[in-house]
Amino acid sequence: MRSSFCPVLLPLLLLGACGVRGKFNLRICAFNLHSFGESKANNARVMHTIVRIIARCDVCLLQEVRDNRNKAVPLLLSHLNRYDSNHEYKVLASERLGRSPTYKEQYVFVYRTGTVTVTGQYQYPDTRPGDVDAFSREPFVIRLKAPKTAIKEFVLIPQHTTPTNSTKEIDSLYDVFTDIKAMWKTEDIMFLGDFNADCGYLPKKNRKNVRLLSSSSFVWMISDKTDTTVRESTTCAYDRIVVHGESFVRAIVPLSARPFNFQKEYRLTEQQALDISDHYPVEVLLKAGSPRQQPGSYMLLLVLLLLLVVLLPLPRLFPCLFTCS
């Protein structure tokens, strides 16, 4: 029995393969690691799970990093690069931030070098002329280039608020936004982190005082009904992702913003999950760039077609034109 496959379909299959190869959804995550330091870094079981969580992400913001002797983060990076040898990971960390001399935290960005490039960084000052100290932990802002995505370049503004001052700190992110917008001439900005933006820390009566909520130009990707906490006794949307810029919003994969329930995914008990953190990471996907913006795939297809035309006689290349009924 003669096969029904016709070689004239080969160019179409090659075109499809080139299109698939060009797809690239970039995952951005934010994870409050709950006092991450040497104790957690030296716990093999805990560290393995943390590495598995971070390795899912192209860019991951870590919060509550308390690495006083600068040993936990390098150890994490070493484990991560061994676990996922298909990618190279690097870190970019803020200075140690906090009003108390005995309690400091860092913002740490972990990123894959093959998918994003850091093109700028800026530590927002703790005070500005005429202003009060708005943040306990001032945002450490980075600008990224992601050429394989639909957005190409964007800014990330992290924030871990103090629970008792979350309304003021979330509102003050608007001032950071105006500074960054003017300094880097961009509208494409994402805020992410543990905002403590729910339950008793951000009551409904206070929301009218938060400019990131009152302005329609900011899109809150994680809804108020989402639970980002590990404990069964709490249901709060503390961790958030907020996006500004029409092109940035269009570059988000619809319905991709969500918490990652690592307890369920890795079949952990509540206590085992709490040993890692009392927060789930939140994440969002950016769309791949348009195939029209990836000429390499089409060039490859053209070369293959030319080779076929040169190497094969016309009846063999397109038999359907002569024999297919």
Amino acid in position 109 = F
Decide if 79 is catalytic.
no
Kind of pairing between the strands at 106-112 and 89-93:
antiparallel
Q: Are 175 and 211 in contact (CB under 8 A)?
A: no
The active-site residue out of 64, 79, 153, 160 is 160
The active-site residue out of 64, 105, 169, 283 is 105
**Cα–Cα distance, 62 to 110 (Å, whole number):** 8
- Strand ranges across the sheet with 26-36: 89-93, 106-112, 59-65, 26-36, 282-286, 258-259
Enumerate the H helices of 113-258 as residue ranges: 166-184, 211-214, 246-250
- DSSP per residue over 165-192, as a string? GHHHHHHHHHHHHHHHHHHHT---EEEE
Decide if 105 is catalytic.
yes
The pair of three-digit structure tokens given for residue 305, joined into one six-digit string: 């077609």
Q: Catalytic amino acids?
A: 105, 160
